[in-house]
Amino acid sequence: MTVYNIALIGFGGVNRALAELIAAKNQLWERDLGFRLNIVAVSDLYLGSVISPNGLDAMTLIEAKFEKGGFGQLSGGNAETDNETIIKMAPADIIVEATFTNPKDGEPAVSHCRWALETGKHVVTTNKGPVAIAAQALKALATANGVRFEYEGAVMSGTPVIRMAENTLAGAELKGFEGILNGTSNFVLGRMESGLDFASAVKEAQELGYAEADPTADVEGFDVRLKVVILANELLGANLKPEDVTCKGISGLSASDIEQAAKAGSRWKLVGSSVRNDDGSVTGSVAPRRLGLDHPLAGVNGATNAVSLDTELLGAVTITGPGAGRIETAYALLSDIVAIHSAGASAIAKEAA
């Protein structure tokens, strides 16, 4: 039986949810997946950091009501956090990066990933920043160091759009994709269809916890744009930067636009898309689009996300599922570790051969 020692970088909602899953599911995973997870380090900007080579009890980590600097009370703990030291020195097989997304330059998460890969540790992350900004460089670094850089959760939380496109649809010849990649804006559009104006719909989304105090990234398409970059680079072999993707949000849609679409048997959706052009180049865009009701994305309601993959041999294949959520996003990290485990099993066999 395999044990993976993991270090959690950031102890907010997602990594806390992963710790909850570890506390509840390790035995099940041992039986069904062939491994268990052991938390050997945690760092958090607010709580501090701790390294414990024998492993920290997941339940204790979740239940202790730590205050600012609280990890300093633990054996091996420090009230301050020093991510570079933690990532480089922790006896971890896998670094779990779940700090905040910086859409500008991906930092400090890009450095977190680099430190990990350079010291021969796998990285799994749900952080869009380093993936959108530096996936190619970080994947090359991973390969050079014989480890993996996995990020299923950077798009659609645990809904496995990346692995579906790359593994289960291998050979189907992907030509492009269109997706509903932001639950908040999709929720807002749905509420506008029920008669609310844009401002009231955003307010309701904020009250329900779907939208942040500043909803700009969601409703202006910037969040979707990062996801389009990630998927286009990963699935279509592009090398796009965020500024290469045209971006228009939904704040310009009026109640009357929504109403006219309904009358014409269509719906407005904020669609992020990318396509491989005839000359081999790949372009991406984010824009509100009026979709006929028979479009694969037209029926995607509420905060749900979906990506419709346009393939040569199968036509459209669409995957629909959660796009956010603590546990849903923590599952993405688990699915990345499953992928590392599967690859590791054959890599070990190949090495021995």
Active site residues: 227
- The residue (of 273 and 335) whose beta carbon lies closer to a copy of itself is 335
Binding piece for a copy of itself, criterion CB under 8 A, among 101-109, 215-223, 230-238, 340-348: 340-348
Closest separation in Å from C-beta 10 to a copy of itself: 20
Give the dihedral sign, CA 270/275/278/280.
positive
Torsion of CA 269, 233, 163, 173, to 10 degrees: 90
Is 296 one of the binding residues for a copy of itself (CB under 8 A)?
Answer: yes
Is 320 one of the binding residues for a copy of itself (CB under 8 A)?
Answer: yes
Q: Which two tokens stand for residue 47?
A: 């709580």
| Rounded distance between C-alpha atoms, residue 45 and residue 265, angstroms | 50
Nearest to 274 by CA among 183, 179, 156: 179
CA distances from 106 to 34, 111, 117 (A): 33, 9, 16
- Interface with a copy of itself (CB under 8 A), residue from 1, 65, 171, 243: 171
Is 212 annotated to bind ligand?
A: yes
Q: Which two tokens stand for residue 58?
A: 């997941």
- The residue (of 80 and 312) whose beta carbon lies closer to a copy of itself is 312
- Interface with a copy of itself (CB under 8 A), residue from 142, 164, 259, 260: 164
Closest separation in Å from C-beta 157 to a copy of itself: 8
Would you give the binding string for a copy of itself spanning residues 13-52, x where CB under 8 A is met? --------x------xx--xx-------------------
Is 302 one of the binding residues for a copy of itself (CB under 8 A)?
Answer: yes
Q: In degrees rounded to 5, what are phi and psi of residue 280?
A: 90, -15
Binding piece for a copy of itself, criterion CB under 8 A, among 7-15, 89-97, 221-229, 318-326: 318-326
Residue 256 is given by DSSP the state H
DSSP element (H, E) containing 319: strand 315-321
Is 128 annotated to bind ligand?
A: yes
Place of tokens 């479009």: 295
DSSP string, 212-234: -SS-HHHHTSHHHHHHHHHHHHH
Binding piece for a copy of itself, criterion CB under 8 A, among 7-15, 53-61, 126-134, 293-301: 293-301
DSSP element (H, E) containing 27: helix 13-32
The SS3 of residue 161 is helix
- The residue (of 74 and 300) whose beta carbon lies closer to a copy of itself is 300
- Interface with a copy of itself (CB under 8 A), residue from 60, 136, 167, 277: 167
List contacts with a copy of itself (CB under 8 A): 21, 28-29, 32-33, 157-160, 163-164, 167-173, 293-294, 296, 298-302, 313-322, 327-328, 331, 334-335, 338, 345-346, 348-350, 352-353
Q: Which residues are annotated as a binding site for L-homoserine?
A: 212
